[in-house]
Amino acid sequence: MKKLINRVEAVVDEATEGLGLAHPDLVRVHAEPRYVARADAPVQGKVALISGGGSGHEPLHGGYVGRGMLDAACPGEVFTSPVPEQMVEAAKAVHGGAGVLFIVKNYTGDVMNFELAAELLQAEGIDVRSVLVADDVAVENSLYTAGRRGVGGTVFVEKIAGAAAEAGASLDEVERIARKVSDNVRSMGMALTSCTVPAKGSPTFELGEDEMEIGIGIHGEPGRERMKLRPADEITEMLAGPVIEDLGLKGGEQVIAMVNGMGGTPLMELYIVYRKLAAILREKGITVARNLVGNYITSLEMQGCSITLLRADDELLRLWDAPVHTPALRWGA
């Protein structure tokens, strides 16, 4: 195993500490329990957005803490759910009296631990709601998940609900917006290579020298199909097709599109994928209103990519365009 790490037990603590050292104007890191909070939290009267999950998907979630996005992120160990205490203490530290919204990717451990945290907080009189993200069209049920997995759509939920909260929307309203995004976003991914979890020290799965896996999960969980490597344009069609179909996108509609790298993919290759995605959508009369191309939700050093599409309307575009200033996403500020 080749990694820029010190000790496998310290990987998440040290990376989180590094995030805090690099961005003291945006975030502060709490060590025990571990969470990343917005530097100026609590913001009085503002709905607090909290997410979290296993580490190894950076910049998700810690890189999205800041103005106009998350108030706190709770990083578990690599590919391991955070414990309820993390969410409870993070929520107490950042809530500003207007309630808390949990944004939860649909993995069994995450769902259970966020639920437990919500119950504990409600018992203390803090109003907590949860929105589940389950945007991966590749498979129903899989390792770690009942139902669909939560993947790239999470970035969209965090950005757009974050903008609503920043603008002073009520908990009801922020929850409505988050659900609207979650309902209208779909993703699918693929891998050329495996990732290696530090604590395990060997690749999560094996792929032949000429093989790829379509529909892979962000922890390397099995996807739809293992097959021979194909050209990027064919791969793009295999990912975009099911996403467009599942969303029921039609000509005349507009989307926010993301071509996301899994962590080890050169940016050049992501732009080759974007080129084809743009052509596919153009041919169907679907307008790409906004886009992201880069590493936004990763799987350690895995090579591969995912495509996420969000059906957009004026409300969602206005919130998307609102200023955001976090370690990993920044505009208008």
Q: Which residues are catalytic?
A: 57, 219
CA distance to 51, 251, 276, 294, 304, per residue, from 45 (Å): 19, 41, 44, 34, 41
101 or 300: CB nearest a copy of itself: 300
278 or 317: CB nearest a copy of itself: 278
Cα–chain center distance at 188:
13
Residues that bind a copy of itself (CB under 8 A): 2-7, 11-12, 14-19, 21-22, 55-56, 58-59, 63, 192-193, 209, 212, 229, 231-233, 235, 263-275, 278, 291, 293, 295, 298, 300-301, 303-305, 327, 330-333
Min separation Cβ 68 and a copy of itself, Å? 14
98 or 216: CB nearest a copy of itself: 216
247 or 258: CB nearest a copy of itself: 258
* Per-residue tokens: 169: 């929307």
Closest CA to 81 of 204, 244, 219: 219
Q: What is 93-116 written as a DSSP string?
A: HH--SS-EEEEEES-HHHHHHHHH
Min separation Cβ 50 and a copy of itself, Å? 20
Element containing residue 129 per DSSP (H, E): strand 128-133
Min separation Cβ 142 and a copy of itself, Å? 23
Pairing type for strands 287-294 and 254-261 reads parallel
Give the whole-angstrom CA distance, residue 26 versus residue 112: 29
Min separation Cβ 102 and a copy of itself, Å? 23
* 58 residue type, one letter: E
Let me know: does 143 contact 54? Beta carbons within 8 Å: no
Min separation Cβ 138 and a copy of itself, Å? 17
41 or 212: CB nearest a copy of itself: 212
Alpha carbon dihedral 155, 159, 160, 165, in 10-degree steps, equals: 130
